[in-house]
Structure 1
Amino acid sequence: MKRILISGLLLMVFGSLFAQENLLSKEEAVKLALENNFGIKIAENQVAIADNNQSLLNSGYLPSLTGTAGANYNELNSTTGYPGQFDSDGQARPDLEINHAESQSYNAGLNVGYTIFDGMGRFYNYKRLKEQYALSELQARETIENTLLQLFSVYFEVARLSENQNVLQQALEISTDRIKRAEYSFEYGQNTKLDILNAQVDVTNDSINLLNTQQQLMNTKRDLNVVLNQNLDAVYEVDTLIRFIPRLQLDELVTQSKENNVAILQTRRNMAINDYDIKVNQSGYLPTVGLNGSYGWNLNQSAASSFIPGQVIPGSNRNTLNFGLGASLTWNLFDGGGTSVRVKNAKIAYANQELFQKQVSLEVDRDIANALAIYENRLTIFEIQEQNVLTNQNNFERSREQFQLGRITSIEFRQAQINLLNAQTNKNLAKYDAKLAELQLLQLTGQLLNVEL
């Protein structure tokens, strides 16, 4: 009966493990994230907006052309009376009536304006928009780098849990085999019932640990699917092979970090933007020269009138075309000091940006030094854990031989098994911690998107 229960438990634990899963490589994960991640899509849209803003259509260099048109209609019904007036026959002068006297007017025109000179304001503003576009590209790059770090943080957690799952599965198989051996030994009177009970307790504990790890693995895969914007229930395996960048290549990337770090590059773009802000505001001291032209057509169809007593004057049609050219010069000689204040504030903002650039540069140096030290420490720990696994593997194999010969107890054998299990899971953790530390260092050097992962 106990064997049936154990077999059922194993079936539940391992049932999903034998299903064929697809391999999601690191390269494929990066590709999916770049194509589908919501944060990256939003960043790309921001770059598209900045690209539109830096176009010639938003520069102020093109003329303005305005078309106008209009139409009016009037209908006049009037009666003009002449009280106290008589005609030549001595009769009372009749009223003069005008009914349905219609008048219309139509007009159409084109007006063009062009600024020849505006104190170089639009020139520097155009340059500023170019810098804004370059800054938006750097901001999008920063978003992509942060997303990739988030991606690999989750991806490597899936890989770690997958390897831990395999380790725990092996541990459970060993514990299950112990039950069989303990039962055979008990039947032949070579041990007591206590050995069987100890083995059953270990099987239960190993099964619970495996179930918990499987649940964590499923949850973490859903987290990864959110980053990739994929179906939450997508089933796949991940690549557990880790390659570290050679130290010489890493040192070379560190020396070039000042030229590639995205935070430093953003401060340089902001410096250029602040410099153009000063020049844009200084353009307010200079005059503006512009040209304007117009072309228009008017048609007036007037109604009949009765300006002369007793007579109706018929309406008339008037058709006119007009063309005009002009030039203008506007010089704001004094605007209450507004321009002067804006220029001073722009210079202060530039000085602040200089200070901020120095601060960011110092912080990046610190972060790189810390990241490099963390990476070296974690890589050393990983190497130690690798050796520790070999040591515990040898110890476990010798303990198993001694246990099978009856020279050590099941408790001593279990302790060797636990030591090996802990060494293997610690090695898995150290491996992915070291790789994440390397990726964080690569981001600080500005090379996260340029190296093979």
Structure 2
Amino acid sequence: MRSIFFTLPCFLLLLGTPGQAQEPLLTKDEAIALVLESNLGIKVAQNTRKIDENNANILNSGYLPTVTGNAGGSIDVQNTEGQLASGDSRRADGAETRRYNASVSVNYTLFDGLGRYYNYKSFKERSQQSELEVRQTIENTILQLFTVYYEASRLTENTKNLEQALEISKQRLRRARYQFEYGQNTGLDVLNAEVDINTDSINLLNSRQLLRNTMRDLNLILNRELSEVFVTDTTVNFVPGLQMENMHNEAKENNVRIKINEKGMNINKLNIKAARSAFLPTIGLTGTYGWNESNNNSPLAFLIQNTATGVTGAVNLTWNLFDGGRAITGIKNVKIGYENQELLMKQVEQEVERDIRNAWDSYTNTLYVLEVQKKNLQTNQNNFNRTDERYKLGQVTSIEFRQAQLNLLNAELAESQAKYNAKLAELQMLQISGQLLNVDF
């Protein structure tokens, strides 16, 4: 019967301190550089910005003239018969006439009611808005990156704490076995120790699995091979000197959502002005250089060959006095669009106001919780050290020792969780205030 106390599943023995090759450290700066270079969402946003930059180019403004080249040729074969003034008649069968022409035309709009001017400015505003959208994508991606990065760091710390807990449980089992061998306790202490080792081993296995899954999530954000192995930095540094008033003012000035909506309002203003150009005339210039040649082998033709070249120019004015009301309807619609943009702007400002206040409260609360958990961890560490000494002297039971061990483990996990919660709350507040890209991580 005694042999059952000395048997453990093989997989539990392997959970001690596994021999693994040293994995490379993925620093925060390296993670940021990788995500800016390789993240697919950021690349899509940057390509969209390039499209808007192309649209804002002078080549898409309507300010440049258009040049058109035309060329053509024809062959005409006819049977003709004619009578001369002398009374003689002549007949030509299969008389062939060849005609050739070529021309180059230039068209330029001098004035179109300022429509192209406001459209060009609207393209410029849209290009700047697109840059802000890229910044928004980068901010969201970096926040997502560090949410996963710090989760990997937290799980790394948890795994180490669980490994230490398992090692403590193994030492306790060895002590219980020796005491049982020398008749100092019953087999119940050995059984309890084995049960606790099973529990610690399962917790460790689950933590390692969660860590591997999180590493794959991080590789996905970085657009790397999912099987890439690395370790994350568990050091957390907080930005010093943050104040609510400053964060509130920064949010009003630099929040990317507010900036994007400001550009949207500017675009709608320009759209109203561009729509009004429909009530004004359009003045344009046209110029053409042409060449024409005709060859006729008919004996009845007055000219056998005729060649002409020349330049023509014209100024034209077009004024659409009434288009059935489409221009009026268009102006009304763009004005409504501007009103909607104003309402959306007010909504965004209120949401940002709420978000920055909530983020500040969350940030200060998590910092307070972190300080409490640090003190709690120290208290539980001291309690476990004293309990461990008394357990070795036989002054406390194995149940009391296990409770002190669990209290310490829970305190370590809670302190780690509080640390990363506080850092993520800080990053969320910095994003809302528009300062996320201006701080060290």
The alignment's TM-score, normalised by the length of structure 1, stands at 0.91
The counterpart of 2:129, out of the listed 122, 126, 135, is: 135
Between the aligned partners of 2:282 and 2:57, the Cα distance in structure 1 is 23
Alpha-carbon displacement from aligned partner over 1:104-135 (angstroms, at most 9, x marks no partner): 32211101000111111111111111100111
Between the aligned partners of 1:417 and 1:75, the Cα distance in structure 2 is 110
Alpha carbons 2:244, 2:360 under 8 Å: kept? no
Q: What residue number does 1:344 align with?
A: 332
C-alpha displacement of 1:253: 3.6
C-alpha RMSD of the superposition: 2.4
Between the aligned partners of 1:61 and 1:3, the Cα distance in structure 2 is 90
Amino acid aligned to 1:286 = L
Between the aligned partners of 2:405 and 2:291, the Cα distance in structure 1 is 99
Amino acid aligned to 2:382 = N
Alpha carbons 1:371, 1:437 under 8 Å: kept? yes
**Are positions 1:98 and 2:93 aligned together?**
yes
The counterpart of 2:228, out of the listed 231, 234, 241, is: 234
Once the two structures are superposed, the pairs formed by residues 273-312 of structure 1 within 5 Å of their partners are 273-304=267-298
Instruction: Report how many residues are paired.
Output: 435
Alpha-carbon displacement from aligned partner over 1:234-274 (angstroms, at most 9, x marks no partner): 00000111111123467534322211001111111111111
* Unpaired runs of at least 5, structure 1: 81-87, 308-312
Question: Larger Rg: 1 or 2?
Answer: 1
**Are positions 1:177 and 2:171 aligned together?**
yes
Worse overlay, 251-260 or 443-452? 251-260
Once the two structures are superposed, the pairs formed by residues 194-205 of structure 1 within 5 Å of their partners are 194-205=188-199
**Are positions 1:54 and 2:42 aligned together?**
no
The alignment's TM-score, normalised by the length of structure 2, stands at 0.93
* Unpaired runs of at least 5, structure 2: 82-87
C-alpha displacement of 1:355: 2.1
Once the two structures are superposed, the pairs formed by residues 30-429 of structure 1 within 5 Å of their partners are 30-74=32-76, 98=93, 101-248=95-242, 251-304=245-298, 316-429=304-417
Q: Assess, with a 3 A threshold, how the Cα gap between structure 1 residues 108 and 383 changes in structure 2: closer, same or farther.
A: same
Alpha carbons 1:304, 1:315 under 8 Å: kept? no
Between the aligned partners of 2:60 and 2:311, the Cα distance in structure 1 is 29
C-alpha displacement of 1:72: 2.6
Alpha carbons 2:97, 2:295 under 8 Å: kept? yes
Alpha-carbon displacement from aligned partner over 1:275-310 (angstroms, at most 9, x marks no partner): 0011001111111111000011112222436x5xxx
Between the aligned partners of 2:327 and 2:168, the Cα distance in structure 1 is 82
Sequence identity percentage: 52
C-alpha displacement of 1:322: 2.0
C-alpha displacement of 1:358: 1.6
Alpha carbons 2:56, 2:127 under 8 Å: kept? yes
Alpha-carbon displacement from aligned partner over 1:76-99 (angstroms, at most 9, x marks no partner): 6x598xxxxxxx9xxxx9x96735
SS at match of 2:185: coil
Alpha-carbon displacement from aligned partner over 1:132-153 (angstroms, at most 9, x marks no partner): 0111111111111111111111
C-alpha displacement of 1:410: 0.7
Alpha carbons 1:53, 1:129 under 8 Å: kept? yes
Amino acid aligned to 2:21 = A
SS at match of 2:438: coil
C-alpha displacement of 1:362: 1.4
Between the aligned partners of 1:285 and 1:328, the Cα distance in structure 2 is 17
**Are positions 1:9 and 2:12 aligned together?**
yes
The counterpart of 1:28, out of the listed 27, 30, 34, is: 30
C-alpha displacement of 1:344: 2.0
